[in-house]
Structures are given as C-alpha cells and as structure tokens.
Structure 1
Amino acid sequence: MLYFTSDLNTYHIEASDGQMGKVQDLYFDDEKWVVRYAVLDVRKWLPTRRILLSPASFTSIDTENQQINVKHDKETVRNSPSIPADATFSSDLEMALTGYYGWSRYWLGGLLWGVEDMPGVNIDDRELEAQEMSNEPQHNLRSEQETGTFRVHANDGKIGEVSDIIIDDIYWKVRCVVVSEARLPAEDKFMPVNAEQIQSVDWLEGDIYINSDLEDLNNRTRYESKEALLKAL
C-alpha cells in the first residue's frame, strides 16, 4: 500500500503494551531513498530522549486508527541506547541501535535492506560475516520534513516545489515526489515525479533536479488533489 509521508507524520506508535507517542519525522538514506527510521515524539513519556525505530520493528499500519504497531514493549524501547533530544544522530548511534534491536545493517549486501529486499531482523551468517569486515555506514540520512520544502527543477527550468512524498509499506522506499506547480491553476496543480527520475539533490540549498525537460513534463497528467493522485498510482 502507498502512503503520503505527511499522513504518517500524524500517526501514533503503538507498542505491544500501549501507546508510546507519535511519528515526528521519517529519515531516509540519500543513496537508495528508503525510509530507515521513524523519529518518535515521546515528550510525554520520555521527555529528554529521542527515539528512533526501524521499519523492521513495525508489524502493521492501522489506517483506521491512524497508528503504526510495533513488536517491542515499552520497556524494551526505554532501555534502548540513549539519544538525547538535542543530539545529532551519528554513525556510532546508528550502529548501537542496530546492535541493540538486532536490525539488519541495511548498508551491507547491496539489496534495499542489506542481504534482503525487505526490512527484517533476522541476521544470518552471511551478514554476520560481512559485518565483521564492515566499516561505518557510507551514506547520509535525510529528514522527510526538511525535504518537503525543497524546490524541484527539470533540465531546463523550475517545475515547482515538493508538496508531499509517497512511500510504500513493503520496502519502505520513496516511490514518488509530489510536486506542486505554482504556475498552474489551483484546481489542477499536483504532479508525481518518480524517484528514479531524480538526477541529483542539493541538500544544502534545497533543490531537487530531475532528468526530464519541461516540454516532456507538460504532457503528464496533473491532479486536482493529492488524494486523486494517490488513487491513480
């Protein structure tokens, strides 16, 4: 199933023994554009901590109740490596988290999730052997919320701005960037851009460049709402 990240950012996180908080942000890596962590808002429960969970810990997404169910209980999450609320998420912290929860080290093996295509927690002998020889992750994690303010450019001009991001719940891969085109009428302004078309990103300046010309883009279907766009995919 496909989801807008803006919708998931309103969902609650439900542990096996009760609610922990809400999704605050989603971090994806800038190589394969796959969501690696949900950042939780747990201020009411652990006010000085920042909690990150991999999709490998998710058991289901409950759209009716707007919650993501996870396999851990609260005590397991409470005892996870401590990340202060104002700390930068470093490679050392990421290695500590994957070790604590037993998550697959997705940067190994070449597939979307390391030695597997889908997120999981079963580390096999192949990966353990690779981990012994591995260095720290050679990628950067990017904030979905920050990316949601980026400008989008074709080869020959600006298209518009990021309005939303669409991901799937099987691989947790970014499938589309939804572009809002300010130059179009308000009732017909949303256009999907496949993530595979992204040529480069200036993360510092906030610009996404796609491998297409404005003339080609003008022939694409636009949608009057994001919901209509999602139904068409």
Structure 2
Amino acid sequence: MFRSAKSCYNLAVEAADGVVGKVEQFLFDDQNWAIRYIVVDIGSWIFGKRVLLSPASIEEASKEKIVVKNTREQIQNSPTIDTANPVSRIEEQRLHNYYSWPFYWVYPEDYNSLGAALYPGLTKPYAYQPPEEDSALAEKSLRKESELEEEARKSHLRETKEVGGYSIQATDEQIGHLEDFILDDVHWVIRYLVIDTRNILPGKKVLIAPQWTKGIDWNEALVYVEFDKETIKDGPEYDPSIPLTRDMEKRLYNYYERPKYWEETAE
C-alpha cells in the first residue's frame, strides 16, 4: 500500500504486450497532493521521449514493475508533452481524450484521478447535483467558461524530483529538507513527506502529512509546516527500512493530535 517515491524511480513499466519503458518520476497536484501522472521514459523505443500515464491506466503495481492496461504502440503514439515545461489543462484534455481517461478535474478537490476520496474518513460522499433553473444555469455556465479558460493556462502539476530537496520551514525556523515522499498506491496520493531534520544535530527522519503543511514557496523552494522545531524534533522517528504500518500511522497522528484520514469523524 505504501511505497517511497524514490523506490519507484527506474521501475519497469510493462504494457499489455511487453515492457515499454521505466518510471522517471511522478507529477502530483499541488492542490491536494494526488498523483496525477507517472512520467515514463520510453527512450529505448523513441530516443528521449517521455510520456505521461494516469493512475487510471495502472493494472498492477509491485516492487519490481508497474503494469498498465495500454499497448506499447498506444503509449508510443500518445500525444507529445514537454514535461520540462508546465503541463496545461488543454494538454491534459488532449491526453485524456486519447486514452479515454476520466477528467479528474471535474471531481471535488479532495478526490483522486480515479474518482475516489483521498481521505475517506474525512470526505463527504460525492453526490450528484440536480440541474438548476435555466436562467441560473446559463449565468453559472458563462462564469464557469471564463474560469475554465483561465484555468487552462495554469498548471497545478509539480514534479516529485523538483520538490524533493526543498527546505522545511517550521513555525520558528528551518528544520532540514524534504528527503522523499511516501505514496499510497491504492488511492495514488502522497500520504507523507519524509523530512530529514539534519539541521538539528544529530538529526533524524520524520513524517509529516501534506495536510499539516501551510503552503509552499515555489520561488524560495520552501515547504511551510504547522509545527515548531521542537515538536517536529521530538516526533516519531521514521526508518525507511521498516515498512510503514497502520499502527505506526496511529502513533504519528496521535502525537500530532490530528484527525485520522481513515476514520470517519462525527458531524
């Protein structure tokens, strides 16, 4: 269920009819930390080409490989997207139409690319909304069209390799850097940031859930968190060699006194 982002880099990507490339990194949504795409290097087939594959394409994910539903030919002929530049919504629409993937951006913000809640215990069910009156619907449609045009020029996608290494800013001072990400490969979301607190001797690794961050300064390469240095320093230590379990998660959430994403909360 849990795996580090770094452990996935260079994993083989196997299409329905054979290996097509390897995992280079991931693109995540900076609004909710959902994994939106796997960046796949298919350079052995087409020199220097990288393609994006949605979690909607994944058939199976193991320690050795990621198996997808598509054929090698379909992946090799997918729309070309320059991953070195921000990926626009227009480019995403073209890609999703090509593969017949669901449009994740029509889901509520706290849902993943498969239409499932990222935080099941803390998310209200996604319910169908009945049609509005014609006049209200027309006015809302015009506003929505304008918003979509503006949104199409933006990108909320970030590279895991780019953000890895960002400094961590506690409420009082900096406390190390972002070392890795812990991915939930069922819901395809970043569950935890692995923080190396080496700014504090002797230093250790700790986990912080993305919900406990206060924002990211992309220009300064800083991730702001809700806790002070001492709170983080005294938090449960994370050992990458030990698989993360639900008991370890409970200990972490209890320490920070935060609601557990897997438990339903009373209204």
Q: TM-score, normalised by structure 2?
A: 0.74
> What does the per-residue CA deviation read over 1:83-121, in whole Å, with 9 as the maximum and x for residues that have no partner?
3576653322111001111111111131413782169xx
1:185 lines up with 2:199 in the alignment: no
Structure 2: give runs of 5+ residues left out of the alignment: 119-127, 132-140, 250-267
| Contact kept? 2:22, 2:40, Cα under 8 Å | yes
Query: How many positions carry a matched residue from both structures?
Result: 219
Structure 1: give runs of 5+ residues left out of the alignment: 120-125
Query: What pairs up with 1:1-233 in 2 under 5 angstroms?
Result: 1-63=1-63, 66-83=64-81, 88-110=86-108, 111-113=110-112, 116-117=115-116, 135=148, 136=151, 139-182=155-198, 183-185=200-202, 189-223=204-238, 225-228=239-242, 230-231=244-245, 232-233=248-249
Q: Percent sequence identity over matched residues?
A: 31
Rg larger in structure: 2
Runs of 4+ residues over 4 Å off in structure 1: 84-88, 136-139
Whose helix proportion is higher, 1 or 2? Answer: 2
User: Cα offset for 1:47?
Assistant: 1.3
Q: TM-score, normalised by structure 1?
A: 0.84
Instruction: Compute the RMSD of aligned alpha carbons.
Output: 2.6
1:115–1:58 distance in 2 versus 1, CA, 3 Å: closer
Whose strand proportion is higher, 1 or 2? Answer: 1
| Contact kept? 1:176, 1:192, Cα under 8 Å | yes
Larger mean CA deviation between 45-54 and 28-37 belongs to: 45-54
| Contact kept? 1:190, 1:229, Cα under 8 Å | no
